[in-house]
Amino acid sequence: MVLEEFQRYAVYFAPQRLSRLGAFGNSWLGFDPETGDDLDRPDLGDDTKAQIIDVTAAPHRYGFHGTLKPPFALRSGTTSDQLVFAIEELCGSVRPFDCGSISVRALGVFLALTLDHSSTELANLAALCVQELDSFRAQPSPAEIARRQKAGLTERQERFLEMWGYPYVFEEFRFHMTLTGELDSDLRPIMSEKLSEIAASALSSPLQIEDICLFGDPGDGQRFQLIRRFPLGNDRIA
């Protein structure tokens, strides 16, 4: 199997595009990362399309997802085909599971979908992705390290950044599906309420993790692409 080479790769959870959650999230961010198609934004009443595009500008490029292993460049001597095989092997050892309900919440200055209750199974899956796929990760550049450090990391986060190329792994992992970029404090509760209303149907069922996805970053600010889905507990690639 020969895959297009991307500047970076990432392992994400992304709901099926035709599911209620996938349809909501893809529409909200304005495109389907599986097909690359642009999508109409949902109706938020008085808010204009331009305003929605503005508040989603930061997460738009990445597509609707929850991060399991953050974007990384391939280490010299490894290939995307080898990465695909490793993800397939990893997924064969994990059974599908239920994470419970999710809701719109503020995480600092932005809004995201987060779990109502922590999930050991999801935390373990993210840790497995970080550890088992680390041999494919090139070391981040000094500029990337410096950018991460500007966030004011704790000592443990600094250690994780040095060891794993990302500060929010293992005990620092918090699953979320980003919905907006940075919002003013007065806009966050208003936008949260509106998002909760339009996402009500999508949020009415528990979050099921049945597969994980390999995404690719073409670089130059282009949108991430969903390359392949990997069903959990199955040796075959979907």
Query: For residues 67 and 19, what is the distance between their CA atoms, to the nearest angstrom?
Result: 19
Mean pLDDT per block of 10 residues along the chain (238 residues) reads 77 97 97 96 75 93 97 94 96 95 96 97 98 96 86 91 94 97 93 93 96 96 96 67
Structure confidence at residue 44 (pLDDT): 73
Phi, then psi, of 156 in degrees rounded to 5? -65, -40
**Amino acid letter, 107:** L
| Strand order across the 66-72 sheet | 66-72, 8-13, 211-217, 225-231
pTM (2 decimals)?
A: 0.93
Sign of the alpha-carbon torsion through 12, 17, 21, 24: positive
Q: How far is CA 152 from the centre of its chain?
A: 22
Determine the number of helices (DSSP H) and then strands (DSSP E) in the chain.
Answer: 8, 9
Sign of the alpha-carbon torsion through 89, 94, 98, 101: negative
What SS3 class is residue 215? strand
Structure confidence at residue 238 (pLDDT): 41
Domains of the chain, first to last: 8-231 (3.90.1140.10)
Beta strands in the chain (DSSP E): 8-13, 66-72, 97-98, 102-107, 110-115, 176-178, 208-209, 211-217, 225-231
Structure confidence at residue 45 (pLDDT): 67
Query: Closest by alpha carbon to 166, among 67, 87, 57?
Result: 67
Q: Are 93 and 86 in contact (CB under 8 A)?
A: no
